[in-house]
Chain A
């Protein structure tokens, strides 16, 4: 019988502890953090394999893969945090391709000195978001940078999903006559972040709309409506997304300002800070372009889903060699809804 004593391992101090350089060194401290925090929270058979990569069963059909980095500041905001945001962001990128998201890989860049309690909150929020979205976080990586060289936590997630058979959605598929649908209000995420940063308070606080859209997308695909394009208008907002699609498809668009919903506090915050909600980021909304005959049916399906209750038809695709996105204003005039110039908001996702 061996006389070697099993060394006592002090549990990770998730109350007062802080990230130090050893958490990224590849040694015991790192291994302990991975097992006590990440593995415990994400807990699935693929991660439990404990190898350099996750061995996954081959899905039938076509794969979709997407990657998204998250550098939001503040890390915790009304309606979410960088953890759930990093799951939603990538799940949505995979979902709006028309695919069912299955797996995520997550890479963390931690700043020395970052409270472990906050890290735990973030990781648990990720785990919760992944469970809700029905995806597994199957691989991960952790690096630590010296104090002052990061901003708490940066998270990059990569997602893999399996494409629904017979579905092809692409930004170049919009045709003149198609209808443009939007799943709800715009600008909530960006203004939630910014109003918190600026210390602006409202009677009804602005809450980020961060959410996983895969079940809404699934319902929309189930409806049988002839969808051409799905996209989530994140950075750069609705205006940027529609300009991207218009350019890819070589078409123009005519929007109706009165059909585009903006929550009151978001509108107020935009007024104060001089922002146009059309350019403010969303993290739980999607734009759909579909054949005109199917628009009403699709709208009905979207409205029965909790994330599409305020969906509306916001405009039409038109022929236009200039690929202008235009809008009839509430006043009855017409304007261009142009590409975003410069940056509207720093570090929102």
Chain B
């Protein structure tokens, strides 16, 4: 397939792998975090770990929107879906995310809740138009990539005078999560986790640009290379990070220059700014409360805010005590360090959120890489 195969070329991958192998300094370690679930998936799906020297270790970050949504918000969504007559629209990944007592939207659906999988927020608006007698709620999740489309439908619903449509907003922000990780005690004081550099988000960066990462590179002295989601993008980004680290540089570099500019998509940014505002604090699964890390709908669009319309309460639900999702999302532990992994927690019966989405570190490792421990 054109524009895809070029970035999955085996011969080129071997070439880059050879360069990485040649350039790494055998006396040091390279601990690189890929922030995005998309990168985690590519690394596992294409078996990229097999192409890297032993001292280059990839640490899977918290950039999977499904994984970081706290159980309390999932519980809110389930309760919402059980409201008589209501239609809850969401992305397919959300369906199996476990909340309290093993309940999920999928199970709620089997018990009669009207939950519909949509591929885009626009589909939810369409469903609202087709069902004028019923309340339709779009469960909005995701980082900066999915935020502009949500903003768009909120504006569209208002323009259309759709009174039965609202959005349950759970949009979160990448830069605040990265700084939260970099400021965590594990990294700053305890030294439990050494993070040498970041592979920066692909799609998120097309919206926000490369500029927001300049602060991390400067303040924390960590190199960032923004990379696309194809396997060659990831390999190239690793090589670029190895070079920066070898040369003692900590800069923002852009491997994904075919889609990302320094300023990003200004039109999308303005749209988001028009509809959303910062929440003072938002709970992330695994990271806990993170200040100024999420968005809520502005007052002038309050009519479309499901949180107000349905009086959605703040619920906090603790994860299973043995579940290591929190530590895994912070990069402190690996999936195989968790006692539940592959035992009671599998993609078919996920206990923690990292096992739900194929972009989650646990599901990716279980589905693609668990032969490594079996050997």
Q: Which residues of A contact B (CB under 8 A)?
A: 198, 258, 264, 267-268, 271, 273, 322, 324, 326, 328-336, 338-339, 341-342
With A273-B119, A338-B366, A342-B96 in contact, do A332 and B50 touch (Cβ < 8 Å)? yes
Q: Which of B50, B95, B348, B363 contacts A333 (CB 8 A)?
A: B50
Q: Which residues 42-89 in B have Cβ within 8 Å of A in the complex?
A: 44-51
The minimal Cβ–Cβ distance linking B143 to chain A, given in whole angstroms, is: 16
The complex places the Cα of A273 from the Cα of B92 at a distance, in Å, of: 11
Q: Are B47 and A329 in contact (CB under 8 A)?
A: yes
With A324-B374, A329-B46, A331-B48 in contact, do A336 and B10 touch (Cβ < 8 Å)? no
8 contacts between A and B (CB under 8 A): A322-B374, A330-B8, A330-B10, A332-B50, A335-B44, A336-B367, A338-B347, A338-B366
Interface string of B184-211 (1 = CB under 8 A from A): 0000000000000000000000000000
User: Does B368 sit within 8 A of A, measured CB to CB?
Assistant: yes
User: Does B36 sit within 8 A of A, measured CB to CB?
Assistant: no
Give the 7 A-B residue pairs with the shortest CB-CB distance, closest first.
Answer: A333-B47, A341-B347, A333-B50, A335-B368, A334-B47, A331-B46, A331-B13
The complex places the Cα of A326 from the Cα of B372 at a distance, in Å, of: 11
The complex places the Cα of A273 from the Cα of B119 at a distance, in Å, of: 8
The complex places the Cα of A322 from the Cα of B10 at a distance, in Å, of: 28
With A258-B10, A326-B371, A342-B96 in contact, do A331 and B4 touch (Cβ < 8 Å)? no
The minimal Cβ–Cβ distance linking B21 to chain A, given in whole angstroms, is: 13
The complex places the Cα of A326 from the Cα of B374 at a distance, in Å, of: 12
The minimal Cβ–Cβ distance linking A254 to chain B, given in whole angstroms, is: 10
Q: Are A338 and B374 in contact (CB under 8 A)?
A: no
User: Does B369 sit within 8 A of A, measured CB to CB?
Assistant: yes
Q: Are B371 and A333 in contact (CB under 8 A)?
A: no
The closest CB in chain A to the CB of B350 belongs to A341
User: Does B29 sit within 8 A of A, measured CB to CB?
Assistant: no
Q: Which of B51, B119, B367 contacts A341 (CB 8 A)?
A: B367
Q: Which of A268, A271, A335 contacts B47 (CB 8 A)?
A: A335
Q: Which of B1, B119, B363, B366 contacts A264 (CB 8 A)?
A: B1
The complex places the Cα of A329 from the Cα of B119 at a distance, in Å, of: 28
On chain B, the residues within 8 Å of A198 by CB distance are: 119
User: Does B14 sit within 8 A of A, measured CB to CB?
Assistant: yes
The complex places the Cα of A326 from the Cα of B4 at a distance, in Å, of: 23
The complex places the Cα of A334 from the Cα of B366 at a distance, in Å, of: 13
Q: Are A333 and B48 in contact (CB under 8 A)?
A: yes
User: Does B228 sit within 8 A of A, measured CB to CB?
Assistant: no
The complex places the Cα of A336 from the Cα of B1 at a distance, in Å, of: 23
User: Does B296 sit within 8 A of A, measured CB to CB?
Assistant: no
Q: Which residues 333-375 in B have Cβ within 8 Å of A in the complex?
A: 347-348, 363, 366-371, 374
Q: Are A341 and B47 in contact (CB under 8 A)?
A: no
User: Does B231 sit within 8 A of A, measured CB to CB?
Assistant: yes
With A273-B119, A322-B371, A322-B374 in contact, do A332 and B366 touch (Cβ < 8 Å)? no
The complex places the Cα of A49 from the Cα of B367 at a distance, in Å, of: 54
The complex places the Cα of A183 from the Cα of B68 at a distance, in Å, of: 42
The minimal Cβ–Cβ distance linking A347 to chain B, given in whole angstroms, is: 13
On chain B, the residues within 8 Å of A258 by CB distance are: 10
Q: Are A342 and B348 in contact (CB under 8 A)?
A: yes
Known pairs A330-B9, A332-B14, A335-B369. 7 more at Cβ < 8 A?
A198-B119, A331-B51, A331-B231, A333-B47, A333-B49, A334-B50, A342-B347
Q: Are A332 and B374 in contact (CB under 8 A)?
A: no
On chain B, the residues within 8 Å of A336 by CB distance are: 367-371
On chain A, the residues within 8 Å of B17 by CB distance are: 332
On chain B, the residues within 8 Å of A268 by CB distance are: 1
